[in-house]
Amino acid sequence: DRVLTRCEQVLPLEGCTELTVEAGRPDTINREKLEVLRAHGVGRVSINPQTLEDHVLEAIGRKHSSGDIQTAYDLARKVGFDCINMDLIAGLPQDSCEGFRRSLEGVLEMEPENVTIHTLALKKGSTLMERGGSLPSGAEVAEMLDFSREILIRRGYRPYYLYRQKYMSGALENVGWAKPGTENLYNIIMMEELQTVVSVGGGGVTKLVDYAAGRIVRLPNPKYPHDYLTSLEKVLAQKEELIRFYGSELP
């Protein structure tokens, strides 16, 4: 039998309560990827339209259409996923209250188990931050979020996590909604910062949490593929910090 490494003894994937994957934009999803995920025990995926308004998708530089979103969703169901999350963003360029309403109603017709309503957050250095754009007002974004709250509660969803970021439209928030019993544990853990999270991919951040001591250590992975691959040895060595952080508590 193969000898397990110390890290594998601590983090056996077979014992995971939940395996979730950010499947991402519909134009990056295909049957082969979804079948590989299901074959390895992934039970929840996120398929993120952001909007179902085609002119808004074009304005934010997305290469997919609203039809592609439905196709990706249907494919995930056929492959066997029974827990799907879908993200929408309130406040996108060239969107409107009516457009956001159509997008959310369209998503709810698909009946995903989880829906996340994000508020647009402008990033420093982004084109929108530097040049501006045809953005809905803070009052319009607040109306979008009010509508989302009303219809999601009416359709049987409940809010289970909330967080805010800098430079968000209307100083509002992001809210995760779920049908009872389908709440995403990872989102709760990340927001509450109560448990260690180990990242093994590009752009991810390992978060080591010592709740008793009030200490958190963050270990970021390089974001871009070239940087990640050329510094892979450093990335792997960085995982030794997991052992140093917990010391003798590990088996």
What local confidence, expressed as pLDDT, does residue 241 receive?
Answer: 80
What local confidence, expressed as pLDDT, does residue 113 receive?
Answer: 98
What local confidence, expressed as pLDDT, does residue 9 receive?
Answer: 40
The encoded tokens of residue 45 equal 């995926």
User: Is residue 183 within 8 Å of 165, Cβ to Cβ?
Assistant: no
Q: Exposed (0-12), middle (13-18) or buried (19+): which is 50, by Cβ within 10 Å?
A: buried
Q: Exposed (0-12), middle (13-18) or buried (19+): which is 53, by Cβ within 10 Å?
A: buried
What local confidence, expressed as pLDDT, does residue 123 receive?
Answer: 67
Q: CA–CA separation, 2 vs 214, rounded Å?
A: 37
Residue 10 phi/psi, 5-degree rounding, is: -80, -35
What local confidence, expressed as pLDDT, does residue 2 receive?
Answer: 35
The encoded tokens of residue 190 equal 């990340």
The encoded tokens of residue 133 equal 């754009």
Instruction: Indicate if the alpha-carbon torsion angle 13, 160, 82, 20 is positive or negative.
Output: negative
What local confidence, expressed as pLDDT, does residue 183 receive?
Answer: 93
Q: Could you tell me which of 235, 231, 230, 232 has the C-alpha nearest to residue 219?
A: 235
Q: Over its length of 251 residues, how does the chain's per-residue pLDDT go in tens digits?
A: 333 333 334 444 566 678 889 888 898 999 999 999 999 889 999 999 999 999 999 999 898 999 999 999 999 999 999 999 999 999 999 999 999 999 999 999 999 999 999 999 876 555 554 455 689 999 999 999 999 999 999 999 999 999 887 777 777 889 999 999 999 988 888 888 878 888 878 888 888 888 788 888 888 999 899 998 898 888 888 878 877 887 644 44
What local confidence, expressed as pLDDT, does residue 122 receive?
Answer: 75
- For Cα atoms 181, 161, 151, give the angle at the middle one, nearest 5 degrees: 75
Q: CA–CA separation, 16 vs 191, rounded Å?
A: 19
What local confidence, expressed as pLDDT, does residue 155 receive?
Answer: 97
